[in-house]
Structure 1
Amino acid sequence: MTPTPVTTAKSSSMGRGLDVLAALTDCLRHGRRATVLEIARSLGRERSQVSRSLAAYEASGLVVRAADRSYTLAWGWYAAAQDLSSKRIATHGLAVLEDLSSLLGEATFFSVLQGDATLTTLESLPSSSRMIGSWIGRSYPAYCSDAGRASLWDASPDEVRAIFAATEFSPQGPNTPTSVDDFLDRLDDDRKRGFAVVDQEAEPGLYSVAAPVWDFRGEVIGAVQVVGTRDSLQPRTADCGAACAAAAADLSRQLGATGSAVLSG
């Protein structure tokens, strides 16, 4: 998913050039061929003006023209955006977790999917939390992890089955999913609810909620989690889940995600 088009002054040559780039990315986002004619039509401009702007961007290595004369962004844009996303996760992500843990008085985490496991990369542990030690660098089986379900939020059933094709669903807690079909059923319930709920699936007495984090491409890249004891979190599931989803949506916006379907939190 691409950033929302930038509004610029029509009288500025730089503004007109940025409008061309914005129109190009809008075409790509909606699956249309980004031709000179299509971009000129969307901007209400002469084709010659748009053609000159695109030629300049092509010469600068910012856009690429395909054999069918349509244009796309050069890969450098995506590499730069991904690098920026990684840096923002490290900075803005930690701020989001700290605000969330302060609000709820519970431990909060950001984790990513790696194969059929999840890896914790950020955490905020308030003094009121009963968590002992750091979870950063700690891996959990994705089939019994809140981050596992939230990180697979946008995955199709076939994609989920492929990830767990060689995974043994061994019991980790009293409510561990027993199969990939069981996992998919719980994921479907999570999507309807708006956040994942994991009740003693990873460990006895452990309770958590999680929500997906999206990036500028419109893809889920990880999950914000709230983790604590069942006695503490279960009675506050709705409030904790809503706060977690809102925090995940906030971080998603800071990573360039757009759209109501993505930012439902």
Structure 2
Amino acid sequence: MSKTSSMGRGITAVLAVGTRNAQGLPGGTVANIAADLGKDRSQVSRSLRGAQQEGFLDRTDQRSYTLNWSLFTDAQLLAEQRLQTDGTTALERLANETDEGCFLGVLSGDSTVTIGEKLPPSSSMVGSWLGRPYPAYCSDAGQALLWEASDTEVRTVLAAATFVRHGPNTPVDVEDFLRRLNDARARGYSIVDEEAEPGLYSLAVPIRDFKGDVVAALQVVGPKTRLEPLTDLCAAALILQGKWLESMLGHSPAPK
């Protein structure tokens, strides 16, 4: 038995336990997991014991295997740290490529909050956006951060939002926002064209972590007169740096 095949079987066993947890089950015995995988019980038993010895699984008094959640907590903390450190690198690269203001935002209620920024020397932006909230309904980051949300979830997030007109193209209600979000998904990145304020143009992509959850939005923001003609160029740089940052957070895209 090769090391590679043993490792693969161990990972498969851990994922099988995780699937049972996702279904609301507390875990599974050797017989449960073997049945789920359609594999021989003795082989599955060895894989589960090996995963337990490595610290990925715990075994209860009822001989049921469960996930060792402390490892996932550690992974979550590491991902949050890398979002700050590697996020800074992504912002610097993106600002160098686009020569525009670049930002990293997260969702807080029905607003987005900037947690990272990089302004090139040529930028005319005044002040810092760090820590400042902005309505998600008229933000490119808002679209990106709600990228994976269902329509019902989006309506819930924006239920209490008052759709104040911040620019000539601000969405008028949540249904208008959903139409723009669907357009962004089809395009592969969001565009906010004078929705946040007159003359402002911005692009954003969602950033996913090792669980596949959208945890941040990477943005390029600038004057419409300068940025709109460079949309394709900036979008390509944005997508490239977004994928790099996701890889640093442990995200593995699902095979197509």
TM above 0.5, yes or no, is: yes
Is residue 105 of structure 1 aligned with residue 99 of structure 2?
A: yes
Pick aligned residue for 1:10 from 2, 5, 9: 2
Task: Name the counterpart of 2:151.
Answer: 157
The total of aligned residue pairs comes to: 250
User: Normalising by structure 2, what TM-score?
Assistant: 0.85
Mapping of residues 1-265 of structure 1, within 5 Å: 10-11=2-3, 16=6, 18-27=7-16, 28=18, 36=30, 38=33, 47-48=41-42, 50-52=44-46, 54-55=48-49, 57-58=51-52, 62-65=56-59, 71-260=65-254
- How big is the alpha-carbon RMSD for the aligned residues of Structure 1 and Structure 2? 3.0
The residue identity in structure 1 corresponding to 2:252 is T
CA contact (8 A) 1:23 1:43 kept: no
User: C-alpha distance in 1, partners of 2:50/2:150?
Assistant: 40
State percent identity of aligned pairs: 45
CA contact (8 A) 2:14 2:56 kept: no
CA contact (8 A) 1:109 1:120 kept: yes
User: Normalising by structure 1, what TM-score?
Assistant: 0.83
Instruction: Give the 3 Å change call, closer, same or farther, for CA 66–149 of structure 1 in structure 2.
Output: farther
5+ unaligned residues in a row in structure 1: which ranges?
1-8
SS at match of 1:92: helix
User: C-alpha distance in 1, partners of 2:136/2:204?
Assistant: 13
Q: CA deviation at 1:259?
A: 1.7
Q: CA deviation at 1:247?
A: 1.2
5+ unaligned residues in a row in structure 2: which ranges?
none
User: C-alpha distance in 2, partners of 1:56/1:152?
Assistant: 39
CA contact (8 A) 1:212 1:245 kept: no
Instruction: Give the 3 Å change call, closer, same or farther, for CA 49–162 of structure 1 in structure 2.
Output: same
